[in-house]
């Protein structure tokens, strides 16, 4: 039943109904193995490596998270996962086929399987590559990053039923204070001697013209991220309800070289009764529709 609710497209428009069965499913997350098949790279970098054993904690978290992600998004097929990638590897990524997780360096970053929104973010990259195929550089790359964050935060907020937490990846930062990104307050996810200061802008006037990071894909994603968060804040709509539905539909209108303004226009076309708020949210980050 819960699965059916999540699978119908209508439910995205009306917001996911959270029935008690679904709530119970979330509480059992660690025990419920979702649709993913998980391998271990055994601290090497060959992908995928070998199938995990049942007592692999990292794999079991990833399996549980795949259940949540597939429930909210109504997805039956899932890319395979790889855990224990590399030695002290402080990142996670989607390589076009596999969702890959490092264990972290143990000093700044903990294990990358600890964060549901990071995993949902990587899964978001899989959706983007199957869908609009946004090129991973410059503005289209930043939009690729943004869409992955939208998927990440929506799964996270739906799971916790907490619409106030806009931070991505706080679970993997060992200092207990920082996060990888803050969608509502780009530029405020971290500020420390080890990490430096979060470079994300939240307005087109601060768009970073840089060469590194594929032309700032993890930097300029702050701009549309803030528009998405502002829309949810202004309307009181939970991210995982109508805003997520709009963004998923808008994604279908995009192509490899789309720009922020193309996404803004597409979300406006799919915004139904929320269109004044959509225009306002994009306007606040310097993108007029
Ligand atoms: N964790 C990063 C991401 O998914 C990895 C990368 O830079 N591709 O965005
Ligand atoms: Zn990413």
Domains for the chain: give ranges and CATH numbers: 2-114 (3.10.170.10), 138-284 (1.10.390.10)
Most ligand 1 atoms within 8 A of CB, residue of 81, 91, 124, 134 to mutate: 91
Check whether the bond before 24 is cis (ω within 30° of 0).
no
The reply to whether ligand 1 has any atom less than 6 angstroms from the CB of 137 is no
The reply to whether ligand 1 has any atom less than 6 angstroms from the CB of 122 is yes
Strand-pair category, 98-102 with 80-85: parallel
The reply to whether ligand 1 has any atom less than 6 angstroms from the CB of 207 is no
What is the chain written as a DSSP string? -HHHHHHSHHHHHH-----HHHHHHHHTTTT---S--EEE-TTS--SS-EEPPTT-HHHHHHHHHHHHHHHHHT-----EEEEEESSS---EEE-SSEEEEE---SSSB--GGG-HHHHHHHHHHHHHHHTT---SSHHHHHHHHHHHHHHHHHHHHHHHT-SS--EESGGGBTTSS--SEESSSTT-S-EETTTEE----SSGGG----SHHHHHHHHHTHHHHHHHHHHHHHH---TTTHHHHHHHHHHTT--TT--HHHHHHHHHHT-GGGHHHHHHHHHHTT---
Checking if the pLDDT of 286 tops 60, the result is: yes
Checking if the pLDDT of 13 tops 90, the result is: no
pLDDT digits (tens, 9 = 90+) for 127-144: 999 999 999 999 999 999
Closest C-alpha to ligand 1, atom 6: 93
Distance CA 173, CA 198 (A): 13
Most ligand 1 atoms within 8 A of CB, residue of 85, 92, 97 to mutate: 92
Atom of ligand 1 nearest to the CA of 121: 4
The reply to whether ligand 1 has any atom less than 6 angstroms from the CB of 219 is no
- Taking ligand 2, which is a single-atom ion, which protein residues have CB atoms under 5 Å away? 145, 148
The residues annotated as belonging to the active site are 122, 218
Q: Could you tell me the CA-to-CA distances from 122 to 41, 101, 150, 153, 230 in Å, in that order?
A: 18, 10, 11, 12, 23
State the average pLDDT over residues 266-287.
96
**Looking at the DSSP assignment, which residues form a beta bridge with residue 39?**
51, 82
Q: Could you tell me the CA-to-CA distances from 39 to 54, 98, 162, 186 in Å, in that order?
A: 11, 10, 32, 34
The reply to whether ligand 1 has any atom less than 6 angstroms from the CB of 129 is no
Atom of ligand 1 nearest to the CA of 136: 8
Using only the alpha carbons of the chain, give its radius of gyration. 18
Nearest to 285 by CA among 228, 238, 237: 228
Checking if the pLDDT of 264 tops 80, the result is: yes
Q: How far is the CA of 196 from the centre of ligand 1 (A)?
A: 18
Atom of ligand 1 nearest to the CA of 145: 9
Nearest to 168 by CA among 97, 228, 252, 214: 228
State the average pLDDT over residues 101-115.
98
When pLDDT is cut at 50, 70 and 90, the band that residue 125 belongs to is very high
User: Residue 28 has what pLDDT?
Assistant: 46
- The first and second tokens of residue 222, run together, are 């702050």
When pLDDT is cut at 50, 70 and 90, the band that residue 34 belongs to is confident
**Residue scoring higher pLDDT (1 or 161):** 161
The reply to whether ligand 1 has any atom less than 6 angstroms from the CB of 93 is yes
- Cα atoms in the 13 Å half-sphere on the side-chain side of 79: 21
Q: How far is the CA of 207 from the centre of ligand 1 (A)?
A: 20
The reply to whether ligand 1 has any atom less than 6 angstroms from the CB of 43 is no
- Please state the pTM of the whole predicted model: 0.90
State the average pLDDT over residues 33-57.
95
User: Residue 31 has what pLDDT?
Assistant: 55
């Amino acid at each position: 039943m819960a699965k059916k609710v999540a699978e119908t497209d209508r439910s995205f428009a009306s917001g996911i109904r959270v029935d008690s069965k679904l709530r119970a499913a979330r509480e059992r997350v660690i025990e419920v193995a979702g649709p993913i098949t998980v391998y271990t790279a055994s601290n090497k970098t060959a992908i995928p490596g070998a199938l995990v054993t049942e007592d692999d904690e990292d794999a079991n978290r990833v399996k549980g998270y795949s259940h949540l992600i597939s429930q909210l998004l109504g997805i039956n097929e899932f890319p395979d996962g790889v855990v224990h990638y590399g030695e002290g590897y402080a990142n996670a990524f989607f390589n076009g086929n596999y969702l890959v997780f490092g264990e972290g360096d143990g000093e700044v970053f903990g294990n990358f399987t600890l964060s549901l929104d990071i995993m949902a973010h990587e899964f978001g990259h899989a959706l983007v590559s199957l869908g609009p195929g946004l090129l991973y550089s410059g503005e289209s790359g930043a939009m690729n990053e943004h869409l992955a964050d939208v998927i990440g935060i929506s799964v996270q907020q739906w799971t916790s039923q907490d619409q106030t937490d806009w931070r991505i990846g706080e679970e993997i930062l060992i200092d207990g204070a920082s996060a990888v990104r803050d969608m509502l307050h780009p530029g405020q996810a971290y500020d420390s001697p080890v990490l430096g200061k979060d470079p994300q802008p939240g307005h087109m006037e601060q768009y970073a013209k840089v060469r590194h990071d594929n032309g700032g894909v993890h930097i300029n994603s702050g701009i549309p991220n803030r528009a998405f968060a502002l829309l949810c804040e202004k309307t009181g709509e939970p991210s995982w309800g109508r805003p997520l539905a709009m963004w998923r539909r808008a994604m279908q209108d995009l192509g490899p070289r789309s720009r922020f303004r193309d996404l803004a226009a597409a979300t406006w076309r799919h915004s139904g009764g929320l269109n004044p708020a959509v225009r306002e949210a994009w306007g606040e980050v310097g993108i007029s529709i």
